[in-house]
Chain A
């Protein structure tokens, strides 16, 4: 059962780059790494997904080292609106994906 560990909270300032690292030592060969963002009173929203190396989209980048035991979500030049909780998920093995969110990382961006 793949399990993830993330920092409980992080603080940053507008315009800075924010990196949130997630540990998943027991990741299985077929597992992907997915990040979601959740604002208060809303459901989580997909940010990015990757399997290895680096993935980039218009919102974020995801860095995954060769051993895949961790991953880092990178948010470039954050703004106040990036204040949210960020969840790292790893797919379970066996073809039946039961998403496990954990507590996530609460990011607060200060002016």
Chain B
């Protein structure tokens, strides 16, 4: 079956520009996670949804970052007024439920802010 998909795969933005990153989780997966991965580092948690409810956003680095999942399926991570330090790979993962269930990751969106 189809896995987690993300779009775009690559995004180049000028500093100050707004960007929107999309995640299509595996159909039926309740939980959805967003991560930020800097070069040479492991993924760092940003935020977590259970269905349409955003249960944890403690990892979002600033109020310029905003995530939503309005119908409990597709999710969008929006970054306003991008800065160079936002350059990273943004990963989305989904799982069947909460807790320590296996997460299925998408390929990520590589964002470069110039």
Contacts and interface: CB of A to CB of B under 8 A. Distances in A.
- B interface, over-half SS: loop
Interface of A: 31-32, 34, 41-46, 49, 85, 87, 91, 95-104
Nearest to B48: A98
A104 B42 contact: yes
Nearest to B43: A101
Interface string B82-104: 00000000011100001110111
B56 A43 contact: no
Contact of A97 (B59, B99, B107): B99
Given A96-B56, A99-B33, A43 B100 contact: no
B105 interface: yes
17 contacts: A34-B102, A41-B108, A43-B91, A43-B92, A43-B106, A44-B91, A44-B103, A46-B104, A49-B102, A87-B42, A91-B100, A97-B98, A98-B58, A98-B59, A99-B33, A101-B43, A104-B42
A84 to B, nearest CB: 13
